[in-house]
Chain A
Amino acid sequence: MNLLYGLIAGILFGFIMQRARVIRYDKQIGALLLQDMTIVKFMFTAILVGMAGIYLLGDVGYLKISGRPLIIGATLIGGGLFGIGWALLGYCPGTSWGALGEGRLDALVGILGLFAGAFIYAEIYPFLAETVLTWGNMGNLTIPDALGINHWFVIAVMVAGGILMFRWLEKKGL
């Protein structure tokens, strides 16, 4: 049943991303060229809606919420590497499957690259586990924890900041 939910969620997500054009190389690179902010609008709206909903479910006791682990060295190096690779490929690991679904064969080459990267990572993992993955382990730190304030205050600031950013992007015609 869990697997079926995954398939349904994937189909809906793939369909929405295809219709909003966010799986396209032109949109992803367009954002990095600071010319077309479609993916930024899409992503941040999803995040703002998602965070309000998930934290609401957490507060009524339906979910248990915890942050994801932050290892400063690994996140900085990994984030930088991802950014470089993303800029060369023009698709993300998730969107490349949707792009292939649209008939984009360069995404298939990218997916082969993803497998090559996973192979290299698995091979060098013992080395990484003793080095990069130990540099600055902060545990599952959330932004409200780090600041020592209520999560709804952080969410409110993010929503307000997001709306201001969206308005600015629309005014600039990005």
Chain B
Amino acid sequence: MNGDHKNGLNPYIGGALTGLLIILSVAVSGNYFGTSTSIVQLLGMLEKFISPFQVAQTEYFKVVNPVISWQILFVTGIFIGGFLGATLFGEFKWRFFPDLWKNHLGTSYVKRGLFAFLGGMIAMIGARLAGGCPSGQMSAMILLSLSALVAMIMFFAAGIITVKLVYKGGGK
């Protein structure tokens, strides 16, 4: 039995460390946390590789410049950090179905795959419109932006309703 199901780092300590890390990042390099812009930049770089003309024609890539950025390295780091944490503590395991999903919604690869893909697609469009995903909104909230308060309330309100529909009756 690996340590997978044992209680992890206390969330208040983890959160406080994250808060300190954000302060340090801003103080040292001026960068607030955020992740969803990096996907647009990576997409733009990929499109540049396939069809430079297409990128030149796309107005949005003038708003978000598709170059290697702080944020691309930041999400690369999140991947490495997640891998290190899991590996060092014997929790790394290839798997497709989260426990909660498996217990209530079964093991259809098509269903989980479809939910994950469509969810990612809708979430990305929403994050771009709302001016950021939760990590970006966390930064916006730290700056006491009214936009972050509105966005977070909407994230949770829409999320709670959607999850209720997905897990109707199934969620204990």
Contacts and interface: CB of A to CB of B under 8 A. Distances in A.
A33 interface: yes
A115 B42 contact: yes
A68 B70 CA distance: 19
Interface in B33-48: 33, 35-36, 39-40, 42-44
A80 B150 CA distance: 10
B1 interface: no
Contacts of B16: 45-46, 49
Is chain B's interface secondary structure helix, strand, loop, or mixed overall? helix
B120 A110 contact: yes
SS of A interface (majority): helix
A54 B22 CA distance: 9
B80 interface: yes
Contacts, number: 494
Interface string A59-78: 00011011111111011111
A142 B143 contact: yes
Nearest to A55: B144
A166 to B, nearest CB: 7
Contact of A10 (B26, B78, B126): B78
B126 A81 contact: yes
A106 B138 CA distance: 25
B117 to A, nearest CB: 4
Interface in B131-172: 131-135, 138-164, 166-167, 171-172
Q: What are the 6 closest A-B residue pairs judged by CB atoms, nearest first?
A: A10-B77, A14-B81, A113-B120, A79-B154, A83-B158, A78-B129
Interface of B: 8-29, 31, 33, 35-36, 39-40, 42-44, 58-61, 63, 68-86, 89, 91-101, 112-113, 115-135, 138-164, 166-167, 171-172
Interface of A: 1-26, 29-30, 32-35, 38-39, 41-51, 53-55, 57, 62-63, 65-72, 74-90, 92-107, 109-123, 125-126, 128-129, 132-133, 138, 140-146, 151, 154-155, 166
6 contacts: A7-B76, A9-B31, A42-B11, A78-B125, A87-B163, A125-B63
